[in-house]
């Protein structure tokens, strides 16, 4: 129940931040999933971000139309598309991250530095303990 309340609070605070940057939560998740490396396929990206591939494709279409990501044919298999961030997509992701980090700092302002550090350490441990549900998440934290 406590975790649910915290997650709900974070989503309530993140949603207007993302809206202010012109994106939705799942679009942010997709951009975050591409932050450290291109995805070798839509299927791989779907697995990384935890979104069904059929629901992912319209998100990719919209992000590509806005110039935030690119999909290029794979030289090894031209039926496949490699997906990556454009410079505009990377800049938007970084701007969102800065705004979200500020919100998180405000949310955790009542904790001491040691308490914040311990909180993040516990979250990272939970991510590591549940790798099937949190694949790729560790890269987006911290």
User: Would you list the domain boundaries of the chain?
Assistant: 2-107, 110-142
What is the three-class DSSP state of 81? strand
pLDDT tens digits along 70-106: 999 989 888 889 999 999 999 999 999 999 999 999 9
pLDDT band, residue 128 (cuts 50/70/90): confident
Phi-psi region of 24 (alpha: psi -120 to 50; beta: other; left: phi over 0): beta
Beta strands of the chain (E only): which ranges? 69-74, 77-85
Name the nearest CA neighbour of 122 among 114, 12, 9. 114
Return d(Cα 9, Cα 20) in angstroms, integer.
Answer: 18
The structure's pTM equals 0.84
Q: Are the beta carbons of 39 and 47 closer than 8 angstroms? A: no
Domain 2-107 has CATH 1.10.3720.10: no
């Amino acid at each position: 129940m406590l975790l649910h309340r915290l997650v709900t609070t974070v989503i309530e605070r993140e949603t207007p931040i993302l809206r202010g940057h012109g994106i939705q939560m799942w679009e942010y998740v997709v951009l975050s999933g591409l932050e450290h490396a291109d995805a070798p396929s839509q299927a791989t990206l779907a697995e990384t971000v935890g979104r069904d591939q059929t629901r992912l494709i319209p998100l990719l279409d919209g992000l590509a139309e806005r110039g935030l990501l690119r999909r290029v044919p794979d030289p090894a298999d031209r039926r496949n598309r490699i997906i990556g961030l454009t410079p505009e997509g990377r800049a938007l992701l970084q701007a969102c991250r800065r705004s979200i980090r500020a919100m998180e700092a405000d949310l955790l302002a009542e904790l001491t530095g040691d308490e914040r550090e311990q909180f993040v350490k516990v979250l990272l441990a939970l991510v590591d303990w549940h790798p099937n549900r949190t694949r790729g998440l560790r890269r987006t934290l911290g």
